Structure 1
Amino acid sequence: MAMTMKGEVTLPATKQAVWEKLNDPAVLKECIPGCQALEKTSDTSFSATAKIKVGPVSATFKGNVELTDLDPPNGYRISGQGEGGVAGFAKGGARVALTDAPGGGTVLAYDVEANVGGKLAQLGGRLIDGVAKKNADSFFAKFAEVVGRG
């Protein structure tokens, strides 16, 4: 089952500061809902473990993330995949773009495409989209808080 999500958030920091936080595993681990572990495995890749609940299905996903098309401090493409055992799998990517916000700060825009399979896909698009949106909102709220602390 495929899903897409687009959005943007204005953050109270310079592009360079936002870029640095987007590439800091400790910051990302703090901000990603359900993230149990996030480790940088190279300059452009991470391994991650996250516990996710979608309706009645709860699973721990383990996966890898790769950064490509790096254009510091303007953005990159992120792609990855994860396995959640009997719950299924998820794979996808996102384009992340940073621009100066009028009046100060930075606008982070994202465009996500993802596919899920297994038990997760059987739950239906509306439920999965709702959880994905909630998790994205939670990530960006926490990320804005962390960026705001400096």
Structure 2
Amino acid sequence: MDMEGRRHLAVTQQQAWDALNDPEVLKACIPGCDRVEATGENQYAVGVAVRIGPVAAKFNGRITLSNVQAPNSYTITFDGQGGPAGFGKGTADVSLSPPEEGAGCELAYKVNAQVGGKIAQVGQRLVDGVAKSMAEDFFKRFDDEMQRRHPVAFVADSKLVRDEPTVPRGGVPWWAWAAGVVVVAVIVMLVRR
């Protein structure tokens, strides 16, 4: 599976970088997540419970960051195991840059992932729907957390884009987006196989 996207964030690159290196922020924002623990330099253990149609499973995984160019970009390598339900693995390239106009920053990501196991037998539409719902939930939670932490960034950003409804808005830092994309990609891959 390949996914890519771009999103405007209300917070600065440094604010995004800092927040997304906080395991507690990620744990609170990833739907079904009960664990995000640093296990070493640029390494994390993640636990996520997922229900897709009749299949419910608890996935345990590892995320490793490489090619780290703080606060501009990095590569995420991930793998997750859901026992008999399946597995997922892949990479995500994430970059953060100043916006073409206004304040905040731009997040861009490209994910490539593979899955296998029983959960992959669930229908494609159901899997896509759950992945989309989880991603939206993650971004809403992260927007709320960033707005709580950096309210001034959101006030300034909302004034700049009031007349631009087609531009996705939000204060999700790039690291959180990346982690959310990785978790959603792993789950989607596990379900698709």
Preserved contact between residue 11 and residue 106 of structure 1 (Cα < 8 Å): yes
Cα offsets for 1:105-148 (capped at 9, x unmatched)? 11112211221211121113332222222222221222222222
* Residue 88 (structure 1) aligned to one of 86, 89, 92: 86
Question: Displacement of 1:47 after TM fit?
Answer: 0.5
Gaps of at least 5 residues in structure 2 are 150-193
* Residue 78 (structure 1) aligned to one of 72, 76, 86: 76
1: CA distance, partners of 2:144 / 2:107? 14
2:121 maps to which residue?
Answer: 122
| Structure having the higher Rg | 2
Percent identity of equivalent pairs: 47
Moved more, 90-99 or 118-127: 118-127
2:21 maps to which residue?
Answer: 23
2: CA distance, partners of 1:99 / 1:129? 29
| SS, match of residue 135 in structure 1 | helix
Gaps of at least 5 residues in structure 1 are none
2: CA distance, partners of 1:56 / 1:134? 17
AA matched with 1:130: G
Cα offsets for 1:37-93 (capped at 9, x unmatched)? 110011210001110111211100011110011010012111111111111111122
Moved more, 105-114 or 66-75: 105-114
TM-score by length of 1: 0.91
Moved more, 4-13 or 48-57: 4-13
Q: Which has the higher strand share?
A: 1
AA matched with 1:112: V
2: CA distance, partners of 1:53 / 1:96? 27
TM-score by length of 2: 0.72
- Report how many aligned residue pairs link the two structures: 148
Q: Which has the higher helix share?
A: 2
| SS, match of residue 14 in structure 2 | helix
| SS, match of residue 137 in structure 1 | helix
Root-mean-square deviation (CA, aligned residues, Å) is 1.3
